[in-house]
Structure 1
Amino acid sequence: MAFLVAGTLQVASQVADAQESLGRKGKYSVKDPRVALALCSPEVSASTAALLEGVFQTLGFESCWRQEASVQGFRGELTRFREQLDAHGGSVGCAFVALVARPWQLRQSQQLVQELSRCKALWGRPKVFLLLSSAPGAVPEPGAFLASLGELCGRRPHWSLLQLLTEVFSRTAEESAGAAYCPVLRSSLRGALCLGNVEPWGPEPEPGPSAQYDLSGARAALLLAVTQGRLGAQHDVEALGGLCQALGFETTLRTDPTAQTFQEEMAQFRKRLDAHRGPVSCALVALMAHGGPQGQLLGADGQERQLEVLVQELSHCGALRGRPKIFLLQACRGGHRDAGVGPAALPWFRRWLRAPPATPSQADVLHVCTDVQGRSSRGPTPGSPNQADVLMVYAAAEGCVAYRDEKGSDFIQTLVEVLRADPKADLLELMTEVNRQVCELDVLGPDCDDRRKACLEIRSSLRRRLCLQV
């Protein structure tokens, strides 16, 4: 009986922690201890390491470890870090891991992210990864990036980390021959992460108008949707088309494109924008189709088209240089079905405790890459020319299934509801709210009776706030 009571209390404690982790109003509560780890290759300068430790302290991280190791030893060090957190026995408010090495050495960083995501002490808690290049002449320089981040953290403690990074991107992005070099963030956060010494649900002063993209020019949207053999896809097309019209986008819709047509329509869309007589202020592209095992898009003819080829087409649009480019991707990126993570409990225990649903195992991660020479798998290249000012939102995490039923997809339907409810808010924050709602859903796949979870992936190189309605 004592064992049963102890187990019940443990589950109750875990459930309470999970419910508290997002605080109120969709914002993380990070009142528990914050821990930070810096993994630096031997050639990293002492000044860069000192700047990094200063940023940790400014962000309120009480426990900071710095370890020098070869890049091959990073995973082992991260495993020991995870084991220490789990052995501590308590919850952790937030974990921040900085990886500093040569640019070509950090291409497999996703494995390190997955290693920390296994940490039980961090279940439902934000995990931040910062990849910094130690190469001479890196753009942006790691010292400049860290100094800007630290200074902003001190002056704007009420800003969320996504807001801070957007401003840092604006400051550190380099312009060369009209091509913007900009860092990229990848987020599966479910709420605003505010690391300043302020209440996470306190009022936030609005940033000045100068911090926003100017959307006074023309807006254009291209919707490419395969509806054949995709139950509910037509509902997504109708809902998204109505939203684009309400937000003032001149919309072009093409249904059931072949793989070749995907490419041709993107090229024609770019040409129309470049030929537009007046200024073009924003473009939105929605790609809705079946996805291949490596994240490819499948046309109505079953042939594959690489997503990055389509993205690059629009990135070279002269009319959109310095203007926001939005991509919405409703397609599978693999075949993995995520059961989620959470406190183990019998079904009647969970009902009695009113336990929250399981959290997708890929959720609560913020991954910042400043390496202009790095390569991202199946997506925009971080920091490469013409990749600034891009917002991409995937309906599924890398390698996972994107769900859809006869009513449409969870991603598109939730997105339309959230944007219609508050079209004046910052789009990056709205997408985070969409992810929170999608993560709370339990999904039954067509070939599986067990409940599964879905999680969005948001990639941004935006350098200003993006508000689609003034």
Structure 2
Amino acid sequence: MAFLVAGTLQAAAQAADARDSLGRKGKYNMQGLRVALTLGSPEVPAATVAALEGVFQALGFESWERREALAQDFLRELALFRKQLDALRSPVRCALVALVAPRGQLGQPRQLVQELSCCEALQGCPKVILLLSSGAGAALEPGAFLAGLRELCGCRPHWSLLQLLTELFCRVAEESAGDIRCPVFQSSLRGALCLASEEPWRPEAFWEELAQFQEQLDTYRGSVSCALVALMAHGGPQGQLLGADGKEVQPEALVQDLSRCGALRGCPKVFLLQACRGGNRDAGRGPKALPWYRRWLWAPQPALPSHVDVLQVHADTQGGSCSGPAPGSSGQADVLTVYAAAEGCVAYRDEMGSDFIQTLVDVLRADPGRDLLELLTEVNRRVCELDVLGPDCDEPRKACLEIRSSLRRRLRLRV
């Protein structure tokens, strides 16, 4: 009986896991079977089919098949594919279906999309549909489009699929001669879809993304008035950002690197850091006990974080214990860094997100024309008043921002 109950519970857990592949971190769980299907008309060139298989492989699909049919029979073939998936015993994490037919024969693909969405094995899982036109009159040659996608998958393995498509669309539009031809995607995804096996936030990815961002700024023909960079990751005991591979990078090194950007010389550079800076879980400090005859006059005051209400002014040295630009250098000026936690403390977040980021968004929306330092001070006030519960403790904990600024002028994000 115990074995039967355990088996039933395990089967129920697997079914629930398959139906809800979206994790709490806002990213689809890709640890499982991925299936792909090429559904093409007889006129589709063999080179296009080979290019599709290359994309499937680059995106990490272990299983794919090809079916040939007339465009008017695509719905019937897709229904057979759906039944095939429903008959599988193992959960399916993602399905990618490529529909290739001469231009004008696909028409409205709503029925095809609905047929795939009815698949029980894919309920709660991402379903990707590529609609490609082949032959004379096609606005975009499928082979070139697929080759560009495969190339991006190789050089940007940590990007989500939406990021890859956006970059691909940009390249297609830039390479179009005469009238700009740009693909379009429609998305109802509920989270990030990262198909590569590589984790998206390795330290190398931080450097790579920042280098690409700096390159775009340096080649930008117009003037840049401000740069804002948000870094969100796990943090180590010394404040370093941690990657899934265990490698580390100091956020101050990233700040220093971007400060060398020529396009940002003399411009404000704002960094938002949502990451732990140590393992201390601040229980806060309560107010001083009042005599009994005064307690009824004042309402009880909440506890405050241990690091609150402090202003440090470093007149001749870089603030903080981490290395940074030399004092007095141009790289030290005009930098505003906001940490989600005090030095040595945990930065809390839950399945709804970060209290720091959410509060910042609320405050900015309410008064976007106000001085940014004043807005951040208001954000800190609200964060300090919150009681947070960490995943490893049932007792309320406190959080406090740390704001470092070498701005030389007042900064308003909206005039």
TM-score (norm 2): 0.50
Identify, as 1 or 2, the structure richer in strand. Answer: 1
Q: Which has the higher contact order (CA 8 A, sep 6+)?
A: 1
Larger Rg: 2
TM-score (norm 1): 0.44
